[in-house]
């Protein structure tokens, strides 16, 4: 029975027995460390058994299980079935691999339970520090600002909202996008990530507002085609407002010629946004940094800490060249959020730079990771991953049973197994089957994509645990499975 009377002097939600809670907490921490330390000994991935899924789908508990019961349930039902991205042979999509230190930072952040929407407290200073670090690394001016968000998808929404607000030719905050005198359009290469189109959908422009610029043989945006498309859109009465250049495409790791694109967008008065989700961080590796030259001219940059910097999920960042553009787009403070003295100080508040009011302390795990390992070591791991990708390409090239499907520009290798005499469709199915079996058997977890219509085994290495032997093991397994599974 519910009582509407309440019971004001009932105990809080804190443990009734702190010593016992400590024991459970220490045991859980040890188990977490055991899992991390031994991750390479287990399978990369295993399916969630139906019985476990059914148990997880149980109704909301009316009465709690207590700390011990909850910890046991979590370790039995959840911990054994991870994504796999902490394993050295996780090569799917673009996933960072996390760190042991990042786990500690998450625990500390949870203890502090900071709300980083604003006000005056330590967490706000940490986030400002992190923003300043990356503003300087990317060569943006002092006037730049930004904030931490869930990831590059959200960072792109925030950045393009600022671009739309500045260039729509109408007060879109008050009147909405319908008040824009001409339809707004933006440009990205045909290899751009799906989050760009999604952002334009959310901003009320529609996905057709994203014009896909053709790429060259290295899968990079063709600046000549971009210039021609801008001219054609203007002639047709549309209003080009933004160009999205990609540093590190998700399919092949290609980086658009950002400098050339910057010249065009500056000449045309467009907002240059760089999607540098993982590839923007090439800037941290001296031998790769030149690939992203021109990024310092961007009006905004979106990138992730949870990919190539291995900060635990989730943590991304948006940087905007002119911080005022974020204020103009998002600032709005009703009376109950008035700034003031003491705890109500700490201006500017992050809630005025983006769409969210309550915000977690993502900056702590970023600060922690950089402070623990240092920029040089993290940059070296990025360069090492690219060396592993080259190692993989070097193993594939002489194998008559394997074929490279795209140049290896960075950390991504797209290839496939060949089976002489097999038609294109069954060959695609064979390669998809190889990937499925690699995952099901827990050997490795690449993903798939299509390159020029052909199904590719796609190996992305944003993984600080991968060693050369893991690459050899993968190639051997693909070759063996190609023989075994061939129809
Ligand atoms: C992963 C990725 C995104 C999306 O980033 P999230 O952090 O998943 O939101 C965008 N662009 C590229 C190139 C990516 O690799």
DSSP codes joined into one string, 8-63: TTS--SS-SSHHHHHHHHHHHHHHHHHHHHTGGGS-S--PPPHHHHHHHTPPPPSS
Using one digit for the tens of pLDDT, what is the confidence trace for 118-148?
Answer: 999 999 999 999 999 999 999 999 999 999 9
pLDDT at 19 over 90: yes
User: What is the pLDDT confidence band of residue 424, given thresholds at 50, 70 and 90?
Assistant: very high
Q: How is residue 255 annotated by DSSP?
A: B
Question: What letters, b where the CB count within 10 A reaches 16 and e where it falls short, cover 399-418?
Answer: eeebebbbebbbbbbbbbbb
Average pLDDT, the chain: 97
Please say if the pLDDT value at position 1 is more than 60: no
In the predicted structure, residue 189 carries a pLDDT above the cut 60: yes
334 three-class SS: coil
Give the pLDDT confidence score for residue 391 in this predicted structure.
98
Q: What whole-number percentage of the chain has pLDDT above 90?
A: 96
In this structure, what is the dihedral angle of CA atoms 461, 466, 468, 472, given to the nearest 10 degrees?
-80
Q: Is 195 in the pocket of ligand 1 (CB under 6 A)?
A: yes
Residue whose C-alpha is closest to residue 417's, from 388, 472, 469, 455: 455
Q: Are 195 and 150 in contact (CB under 8 A)?
A: no
- Residue 472 has which token pair? 């050899």
Separation CA 225–CA 455 (nearest Å):
27
The answer to whether 242 and 187 are in contact (CB under 8 A) is yes
Average of per-residue pLDDT across 294-321 = 98
The tens digit of pLDDT for each residue in 87-111 reads: 999 999 999 999 999 999 999 999 9
Task: Give pLDDT tens digits for 261-306.
Answer: 999 999 999 999 999 999 999 999 999 999 999 999 999 999 999 9
Q: Answer yes or no: are the C-beta atoms of 152 and 277 closer than 8 Å.
A: yes
**β-sheet bridge partners, residue 221:** 215
* Model pLDDT for residues 467-481, shown as the tens digit of each residue: 999 999 999 999 999
- For 398-416, what is the mean pLDDT? 97
Residue 2's pLDDT band (cuts 50, 70, 90) = low
Within 8 A by CB and 6+ apart from 357, the residues are 117, 337, 351
Instruction: Supply 310's token pair.
Output: 């291995």
CB 135 within 8 A of CB 321: no
Ligand 1 in reach of 152 Cβ (< 6 A): yes
pLDDT at 404: 98
Ordered alpha helix ranges (H), 63-139: 66-77, 100-112, 122-137
The pLDDT of residue 323 is 98
pLDDT tens, residue by residue, 217-268: 999 999 999 999 999 999 999 999 999 999 999 999 999 999 999 999 999 9
193-220: pLDDT as tens digits: 999 999 999 999 999 999 999 999 999 9
Burial of 206 (0-12, 13-18, 19+ CB in 10 A): middle
Name which of 196, 363, 353, 176 is nearest 271 in CA terms.
196
End-to-end CA distance of the chain: 63
Q: What is the pTM of this model?
A: 0.97
**Helix 362-396 / helix 122-137 crossing angle, nearest 10 deg:** 40
In sequence order, what are the beta bridge partners of 320?
145, 300
pLDDT band at 4 (very low <50, low <70, confident <90, very high): low
Structural contact between residues 279 and 246, judged by C-beta atoms closer than 8 angstroms: yes
Answer whether 250 contacts ligand 1 (Cβ < 6 A). yes
**Mutation test of ligand 1: which of 85, 92, 152 has the most ligand atoms closer than 8 Å to its C-beta?**
152
Q: On the CB side of 144, how many CA atoms lie within 13 Å of its CA?
A: 28
Ligand 1 pocket test, pick from 95, 96, 153 with the greatest ligand atom count within 8 Å of Cβ, gives 153
Closest Cα to atom 14, ligand 1: which residue?
277
Which residue among 193, 246, 255 has the greatest number of ligand 1 atoms within 8 angstroms of its CB, and so is best to mutate? 193
- Distance from the Cα of residue 60 to its chain's centroid: 31
Q: Is 94 in the pocket of ligand 1 (CB under 6 A)?
A: yes
pLDDT at 5: 67
Beta bridge partners of 145: 320
pLDDT at residue 397 tops 90: yes
pLDDT at 441 over 80: yes
Alpha helices in 119-257 (DSSP H): 122-137, 152-167, 172-175, 194-202, 223-235
């Amino acid at each position: 029975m519910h009582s509407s009377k309440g019971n004001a002097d009932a105990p809080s939600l804190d443990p009734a027995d702190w010593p016992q809670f400590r024991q459970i907490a220490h045991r859980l921490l040890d188990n977490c460390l055991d899992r991390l330390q031994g991750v390479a000994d287990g399978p990369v991935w295993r399916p969630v058994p139906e019985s476990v899924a059914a148990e997880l789908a149980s109704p909301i508990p009316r009465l709690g299980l207590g700390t011990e019961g909850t910890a046991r349930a979590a370790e039995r039902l959840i911990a054994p079935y991870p994504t796999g991205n902490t394993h050295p042979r996780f090569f799917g999509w673009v996933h960072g691999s996390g760190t042991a230190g990042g786990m500690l930072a998450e625990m500390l952040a949870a203890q502090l339970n900071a709300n980083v929407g604003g006000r005056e407290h330590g967490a706000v200073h940490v986030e400002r520090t992190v923003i300043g670090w990356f503003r300087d690394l990317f060569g943006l001016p002092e006037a730049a600002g930004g904030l931490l968000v869930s990831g590059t998808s959200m960072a792109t929404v925030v950045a393009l909202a600022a671009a739309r607000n500045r260039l729509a030719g109408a007060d879109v905050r008050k009147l909405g996008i319908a008040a824009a005198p001409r339809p707004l359009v933006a440009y990205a290469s045909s290899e751009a990530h799906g989050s760009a189109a999604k952002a334009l959908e959310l901003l009320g422009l529609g996905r057709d507002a994203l014009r896909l610029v053709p790429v060259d043989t290295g899968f990079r945006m063709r600046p000549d085609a971009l210039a021609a498309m801008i001219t054609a859109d203007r002639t047709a009465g549309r209003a080009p407002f933004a160009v999205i250049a990609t540093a590190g495409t998700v399919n092949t790791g290609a980086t658009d010629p950002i400098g050339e694109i910057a010249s065009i967008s500056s000449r045309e008065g467009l907002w240059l946004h760089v999607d540098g989700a993982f590839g923007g961080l090439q800037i941290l590796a001296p031998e790769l940094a030149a690939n992203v030259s021109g990024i310092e001219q961007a009006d905004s940059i979106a990138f992730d800490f949870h990919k190539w910097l291995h900060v635990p999920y989730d943590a991304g960042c948006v940087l905007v060249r002119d911080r005022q553009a974020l204020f103009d787009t998002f600032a709005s403070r009703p009376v109950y959020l008035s700034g003031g003295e003491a705890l109500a100080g700490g201006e500017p508040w992050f809630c005025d730079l983006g769409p969210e009011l309550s915000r977690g302390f993502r900056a702590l795990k970023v600060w922690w990771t950089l402070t623990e390992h240092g920029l040089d070591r993290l940059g070296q791991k990025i360069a090492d991953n690219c060396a592993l990708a080259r190692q993989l390409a070097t193993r594939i090239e002489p194998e008559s049973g394997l074929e490279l499907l795209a140049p290896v520009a960075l950390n991504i290798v797209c290839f496939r197994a060949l089976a002489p005499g097999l038609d294109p469709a069954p060959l695609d199915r064979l390669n998809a089957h190889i990937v499925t079996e690699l995952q099901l058997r827990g050997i490795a977890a690449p993903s798939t994509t299509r390159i020029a219509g052909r199904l590719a085994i796609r190996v992305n290495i944003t993984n600080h645990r991968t060693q050369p032997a893991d690459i050899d093991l993968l190639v051997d397994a693909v070759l063996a499975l190609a023989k075994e599974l061939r129809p």
